[in-house]
Amino acid sequence: MVTDVGRPPTKKERQEAHAAESAKISRRIADGDDFPEAGRVLRALAKMKSANPYVTGITALNIPVHGRIFADRHIHCLTNVNAWSWAGTTLRDTTHLIGMAGVCDATEVLRRCAPDTITGTLAATYERAAFDLLYHSAMT
């Protein structure tokens, strides 16, 4: 699937990629392949580190967003950078499912609580953080 750099795939592009992969799997099944590598692939996906790590989970739910009601109200937990939840390390990465949808640059907001925040630190929106938590729980 080819997309512009930095742009998540469109719904049509995801559908086309899914259809192509489904056709390939159907051909393999018709040829009698029992997918001996399926277990290895699933384990590799589960262990895959995020190519673009971002703050997610409970940590992201505590990040204040201007003009929105807090999803959680424990902003003090943002002061300890070592305790932040990261996609691909603390929680399972979901970029293979929905790309970088719902992930944005949160450097300025995070610097209010943790001045050492690195420029370009990404964080999940409330919706993406909830999705990541649900996915992690379902896969665990």
Instruction: Note whether 84 and 27 are same-domain residues.
Output: no
Q: Is the pTM of this model over 0.75?
A: no
Domain tally for the chain?
2
Instruction: Note whether 41 and 63 are same-domain residues.
Output: no
Q: How far, in Å, are 21, 82, 110, 130 from residue 122 at the CA level?
A: 30, 15, 10, 16
Domain that holds residue 54: 49-139
Q: 32 lies in a domain?
A: yes
Q: What is the pLDDT of residue 32?
A: 67
Instruction: Note whether 62 and 107 are same-domain residues.
Output: yes
* Cα dihedral value 80, 86, 140, 133, nearest 10: 90
Instruction: Note whether 30 and 99 are same-domain residues.
Output: no
Place of tokens 């001996």: 36
Instruction: Note whether 35 and 62 are same-domain residues.
Output: no
Q: Which residues contact 21 (CB under 8 A, 6 or more apart)?
A: none
Q: 4 lies in a domain?
A: no
Instruction: Note whether 79 and 38 are same-domain residues.
Output: no
A 10 A CB-CB count for 114 gives: 15
Q: 129 lies in a domain?
A: yes
Instruction: Note whether 134 and 68 are same-domain residues.
Output: yes
Instruction: Note whether 30 and 58 are same-domain residues.
Output: no
Q: 1 lies in a domain?
A: no
In the chain, which stretches have pLDDT less than 50? 1-3, 39, 41-48
Instruction: Note whether 58 and 122 are same-domain residues.
Output: yes
Q: How far, in Å, are 42, 60, 98 from residue 55 at the CA level?
A: 24, 6, 16
Q: What is the pLDDT of residue 50?
A: 53
Instruction: Note whether 38 and 79 are same-domain residues.
Output: no
A 10 A CB-CB count for 62 gives: 21
Q: 2 lies in a domain?
A: no
